[in-house]
Amino acid sequence: MDNKEMFKICKKCGAKCCKLGGADVTNQEREIILSAGHTDHFVKIDSDHYEMKSKGSICPYLKEDNSCGIYHVRPIACRCFPIHPEFNNNKKEYLLALCPLGKVLPKELIDRMKKDSTRIMDHITKTRFTDTKLPKGEIEAIIKGVDKLKNFILE
């Protein structure tokens, strides 16, 4: 499956994953985005954890046509979606989000995305919803949206 096919599926879906507040990123990912000339839409959580200032739970880099404004420098969390790491009882699990792409991605690509998602720093995964500077109502809406996308745990 090539990027064009994936983009068509994402546009048809309405880019729901990009309407979950935007990805939390490391300082390195933030610097890559800024070095590419994009606007700084980040809030510092700690020395190596930044969250995106979302606009009503929408990623600030999502364009009106539901395409990604930072596609070539998007964070690892975005590159790996619909694979989503999460901690459950202090154990890291990999979820396959309920996403139209999840139904058509070849197993090899899912395996690669899972492997790539291991690069998402554990402290970011663990504290995404607790160490936030987003308004309470917005974070609650994001959590509700994320919960709706949960599908199943990958082995």
d(CA 44, CA 23): 13
pLDDT tens digits for range 97-142: 888 888 888 889 889 988 888 888 787 887 877 788 888 888 888 8
Distances in Å between the Cα of 133 and the Cα atoms of 24, 64, 70, 104 are 12, 25, 22, 36
Both tokens of 136, joined, read 């309470």
Q: Return the domain boundaries, the chain.
A: 3-153
Query: Hey, is 37 helix, strand or coil?
Result: coil
pTM of the predicted model, to two decimals?
Answer: 0.83
Q: What does the pLDDT average to over 35-56? A: 93
Distances in Å between the Cα of 16 and the Cα atoms of 10, 63, 67, 87 are 8, 13, 11, 22
Burial letters for 72-95: b for 16+ Cβ neighbours within 10 Å, e otherwise? Answer: ebbbbbbebbbbbbeeeeeeeebb
Q: What does the pLDDT average to over 33-42? A: 97
